[in-house]
Structure 1
Amino acid sequence: MIRKAKLPEIPEILELTRACGKEMASRGIYQWNEFYPSRTVLESDVDREELYILKDSEVLLGVIALTTIMDAEYEQVAWLTPNQDNLYVHRLAIAPNYQGQGYAQKLMTFAEDFARKGNFKSIRLDTFSQNPRNQKFYEQRGYSRLGNVYFPKQSAFPFYCYELVL
């Protein structure tokens, strides 16, 4: 079941995102670190009702943030659609023990359905340039790679921006 996250669930969500960060680091992908995603960021997502969780019974399988707020870093990207009526995906994470079982697909299908029902023009996101698995994931779903952005607190390497026109 996918539903909005609640503030009391933040410790469990933070545990999941930290486990994902460690799992990626074990594969040489230094995408998430002690600065990101932070408790403050996740709490803000919940306060704005933009953080969704995927649970099976009582097991937290994954999270995803869906927002209409465009990060300042995205302003210089040559997007395919005008900068209005866009949905942005952030912090997609699946618990390491449940990766490769289709749960990321479920969360992205949820995001895409949410965007279509909300009459958004496109979905935009970024993924780490050193994470080819994620790049393939989005490209297979029809997302177009457009440009690079940088998040210096996370990495010296760029993040690739993607957009799916709906």
Structure 2
Amino acid sequence: MKNFTFRKAVIEDKNSIWNIIQQAILRRKADGSNQWQDDYPNEQSIENDIVTDFGFVLVNEEKIIGYCAVIINYEPAYDAIEGKWLTNDDFVVIHRIAIDENYLGQGLSGKIIENVEKLAKKNNIFSVKVDTNFDNIAMMKIFEKRGYQYCGEVYFRGSARRAYEKVLK
């Protein structure tokens, strides 16, 4: 499994993406997490990602195996960080990272993040910001392994989340 493609999602990808998101929602619930248990993300949010060009898929041999949203210079919740970002320049935000359950444990979340970092640099943006729930230990480990630094807390729908940033070179 080495021939990965990372590309913008198109509307025809929606059902495959939604399937992966639903798997991730169930995994978070099984882990005892509150993350993604409040009807978000939902099918409409995925469709919105696609039509606004925020949705990206990781593809292996024509099969969509991963998803994320990539947003440039916009995340209102990040304006009110309790803590301090490393930079105040242009930035890319990664949201809604999810991997098909048949491909877990193969480092594919890291592969998605790596591709987003390349995309940022291609656009002359040298900061990537992310967040996750306090109980999403796996995602925190991925961020830290990839060199993201903990910057403080941000709030989404009333819940605190750990915020990270990586300055790209």
Do they superpose with TM above 0.5? yes
Supply the RMSD in Å over aligned alpha carbons.
Answer: 1.5
Task: Pick one of 81, 85, 102 that aligns with 2:87.
Answer: 81
Counterpart of 1:135, as a letter, is: M
TM-score (norm 2): 0.89
Q: Aligned residue for 2:164?
A: 162
Moved over 3 A (4+): none
Q: Aligned residue for 1:42?
A: 46
Q: Aligned residue for 2:7?
A: 3
How far the C-alpha of 1:67 sits from its partner, in A, is 0.8
Q: Equivalent pairs: percent with the same residue?
A: 31
Matched, 1:127 2:132: yes
Q: Kindly provide the CA deviation profile for residues 124-159 of structure 1, in whole angstroms up to 9, marking residues without a partner as x.
A: 010111111111110111101111122237xx4x21
Q: Aligned residue for 1:57?
A: 61
Matched, 1:145 2:147: no
Q: Which runs of 5+ in 2 are unaligned?
A: none
Q: Kindly provide the CA deviation profile for residues 37-74 of structure 1, in whole angstroms up to 9, marking residues without a partner as x.
A: 12222122111212111122243210011111422211
TM-score (norm 1): 0.90
SS of 1:134's equivalent in the other structure is helix
Structure 2 vs 1, CA of residues 2 and 43 (structure 1 numbering), >3 Å: closer, same or farther? same
SS of 1:66's equivalent in the other structure is strand
Counterpart of 2:101, as a letter, is: P
Q: Which runs of 5+ in 1 are unaligned?
A: none
How far the C-alpha of 1:162 sits from its partner, in A, is 0.4
SS of 1:30's equivalent in the other structure is coil
Contact 1:64 1:89 in 2 (8 A): yes
| Bigger Cα displacement from structure 2, 25-34 vs 5-14 | 25-34
